[in-house]
Amino acid sequence: MDELVTTDKPAPQAAEMRPYSAAELKAAVLAKLTYAVGKAPEVASRRDWFLAVTFATRDIAVGRWLESLNAVYGDGRKRVYYLSLEFLIGRLLFDAMTNLGIAQPMEEALDQLGVNLSDLRRIEPDAALGNGGLGRLAACFMDSMATLSIAAHGYGIRYDNGLFRQIIRGGWQQETPEDWLVNGNPWEFVRPEYNYAIGFGGWVEMIQGDDERAHHVWHPAETVEAVAYDTPIVGWRGRHVNTLRLWSARATDPLKLEAFNAGDYVGAFSEAVRAEAISKVLYPSDATPAGQELRLRQEYFFASASLLDLIRRHIKQWGDVRTLGQHSAVQLNDTHPAIGIAELMRILVDLNKVEWDEAWSIAQAVFSYTNHTLLPEALETWAVPLMERVLPRHMQIIYLINAAHLDSARRRGFVDQGLLASISMIDEHAGRRVRMGNLAFIGSHKINGVSALHTDLMRKTVFHGLNTVYPGRITNKTNGITFRRWLIECNPKLADIIRAVLGERGLDDYGALKGLAAHADDPALHEQVAAAHKSCKAALARTIADQVNQRVDLDAMFDVQVKRIHEYKRQLLNIIETVARYNAIRANPTIDFAPRVKIFAGKAAASYTQAKLIIKLAIDVAKVVNSDPTVRGLLKVVFLPNYNVSLAEIIMPAADLSEQISTAGMEASGTGNMKMALNGALTVGTLDGANVEMRDLVGDDNIFIFGLTAAEVEASRAQGIDSTERIAASPILREALDEIGSGVFSTDDATRYRGLVDTLTHHDYFMVCADFDAYWATQIKIDATWRDRKRWMRSSILNTANVGWFSSDRTISEYAKEIWNAPFAPIS
């Protein structure tokens, strides 16, 4: 989008947004309906109106976009490039209108036209550009970079079908394509003039140059075109607008005409199908060699196109690629774009004839890397033969980087062979694989974790050796969320309460939310917040009724665990407690259990059999519990399918209890915990990820912490992970597991969960049984706290007041100051 700038003069910062009246917006919508959609109001469908409103909103955003880009070119500020395989941006219409300050007058304008804005919001599909927390974080960061007027581009892939649409058939997860682009995307601008040839395979030729240096020329066997699609990302109050540029793969020769004319109609399109597969699906299964190759092709495709694009932009403005490190910062969101380090070296050395040592200095100045996992198996590695076949020149470059890195370590006295093996980019013990985490670490000037605990554990575990060799390179940047979106757009009544108590500053400045704490004991505020929360619960109840045909009690505690389904996130612990609660309610009718609605949602990876079994168990338990009259309304269990941003926007503000119960030491951060606490939910969780900082912020009395610490988990595993004795010593746990394993919840297949129970009994790696008794006791404590409504409401308000620190504005300002050295303008 920055290529549209035409002014030759330095441009000033974009002026403040002017207000738009309902009359102006009404005229704009009608003009778009007529001239962009081609419909008269009398015959326009709801989708026609949605497009008209979107185009009218987009026009305002584009005006700010051009002003922002003029300002960036005018003052020459440093640019930030955020490379991420996921951007879970969700629906954009209401987000853009809110940030542009036109949501209210637009609603008035549409009322005059007899159109309901809420209905139009539901027409927009979720952009299927991500999976979970990593992708939603990238979207939050893009929002905050625009809010803080950082000159930023996001780079990723424009997936035709995203991850998958989750449907439930017979209680089992089924994956179907997410066809979010079937009717087009009104937010994007295709930029066919900016496309790049991305090579794969082939061979490398060494040529003796006139300067008597050896030069390497890569001759790819296959070339795929990367075509740019731009989406404007509007910051708060429209102060600044940045660009999200996504790449779509296109074959250089979309049709083999000779084959087509010979009657081979399928073969004629084979090259196009192979090329376009790169941007079809997020995270194709890597269970097969072909799947592994496709993942590598995806990662290189978008990293290469992004680097070629940003270097083109840099040379256009600054003329010399050697100044790239002064004017550009590239953030690698996890290891997916790490191949970009080798690609930048290829671009600098092979294409721009920069000396190797200077090129390496430029690369390290440019790159920084965010790590999102402590699981060694989740740090990407690629088989050396695959890399040599798909990216032969890059494999040469990686060998050279690794040799220089190990030689440097030896010269500085690090000669222990075990240490050198651990810091090498080549893992020699697993069939020779390239460690992309090590490449990202070595090629970056800063490496950050995403919570205080995670960063500390990074230094001690997955990057212990590299941290020893490069002390001080690891830093912490605790994740954050776009707190305005999760209040104003998801919980408008609570946002209005905050405005009434704190003024507009309460939504401008995340730090100002603390002022709400002074009113935490105000009974009138308790009533207002409770009423606002009940309206959110009513909206979620309607969704539950629509999706799974269950009626839920709005006065019950909405106990929520929504996130990717994974064993370490321990949905299984929650389900077992649900079974134990079900047993206790039936066996002990005199116990004063708080009525609860247990709400689960999340997708299991397509090839993750155990996670799919956990979903099935949740649904089987729900079927039994929800049909048993002896429960007397004290327990309801719900699994909502196809969890995405739009569903999260309904669930998060309705939560009373937020389940953040991962095995301590395994969750990097978590951001769902932040969103629910911001909306007043109390958290039950382990001392894992950002829960540690959340406890420090909200206070021990306003959060429910249980279970083993990260150090205790490590010590317990060292002693063995057989839980036979633990189960024998816990009658409540033993009864729940016996029922699950014997088929009480699976009468159609009594053996369905026997293997799952055997794993928990003899291989309890994720400490489900080890933490169960503490979890059960904490849940009983939560029941008692729920019945003390004054105490619960006080804690709820204190959660909202104190978690403003988890704003992505704060996180991004820390990145800008301490990693990118990029200018930013705080909200004043």
Active site residues: 372, 563-564, 569, 671, 675
Running DSSP on this structure, what letter comes out for residue 821? -
Please give the distance of CA 687 from its chain centroid, rounded to a whole number: 21
In the sheet with 635-640, reading across from the earlier edge strand, the strands are: 635-640, 596-601, 557-562, 657-660, 682-685, 704-705
Long-range contacts at 72-76 (CB < 8 A, ≥ 24 apart): 72/2, 72/151, 73/2, 73/5, 73/7, 73/10, 73/11, 73/317, 74/7, 74/9, 74/10, 74/11, 74/12, 75/10, 75/11, 75/13, 76/317, 76/327
Strand pairing class (657-660; 557-562): parallel
Say if residue 527 is exposed, middle or buried (CB neighbours under 10 Å; 0-12, 13-18, 19+).
Answer: exposed
CA–CA–CA angle 609, 611, 617 (5° rounding): 105
Please, are residues 379 and 327 in contact by the beta-carbon 8 Å criterion? no
Running DSSP on this structure, what letter comes out for residue 657? E
Give the DSSP H/E element, type plus range, for residue 371. none
Please give the distance of CA 273 from its chain centroid, rounded to a whole number: 28
Token pair recorded at residue 771: 């933490």
- 3 state SS of 217: strand
Q: Which residue has the tokens 């009974």?
A: 523
CA–CA–CA angle 692, 673, 330 (5° rounding): 85
Q: Give the span between the Cα atoms of 557 and 451, in whole angstroms.
A: 29
Long-range contacts at 514-523 (CB < 8 A, ≥ 24 apart): 514/801, 514/802, 514/804, 515/801, 516/797, 516/800, 516/801, 517/797, 517/798, 517/801, 517/802, 519/797, 520/794, 520/797, 520/798, 520/801, 521/794, 523/790
Q: Give the span between the Cα atoms of 149 and 429, in whole angstroms.
A: 47
Q: Where are the alpha helices (DSSP H) in 555-644?
A: 571-587, 609-626
CA–CA–CA angle 70, 244, 603 (5° rounding): 160
Length reported for the chain: 828
- 3 state SS of 777: helix
Q: Which residues contact 471 (CB under 8 A, 6 or more apart)?
A: none
Say if residue 499 is exposed, middle or buried (CB neighbours under 10 Å; 0-12, 13-18, 19+).
Answer: middle
Residue 752: how many CA atoms within 13 Å on its side-chain side? 22
Q: Which residues, in sequence order, are bridge partners of residue 290?
A: none
Please give the distance of CA 377 from its chain centroid, rounded to a whole number: 19
Token pair recorded at residue 655: 């939560």
Strand pairing class (189-200; 172-176): unpaired
| Helices 571-587 and 768-787, packing angle to 10 deg | 60
Please, are residues 636 and 550 in contact by the beta-carbon 8 Å criterion? yes
Please, are residues 813 and 826 in contact by the beta-carbon 8 Å criterion? yes
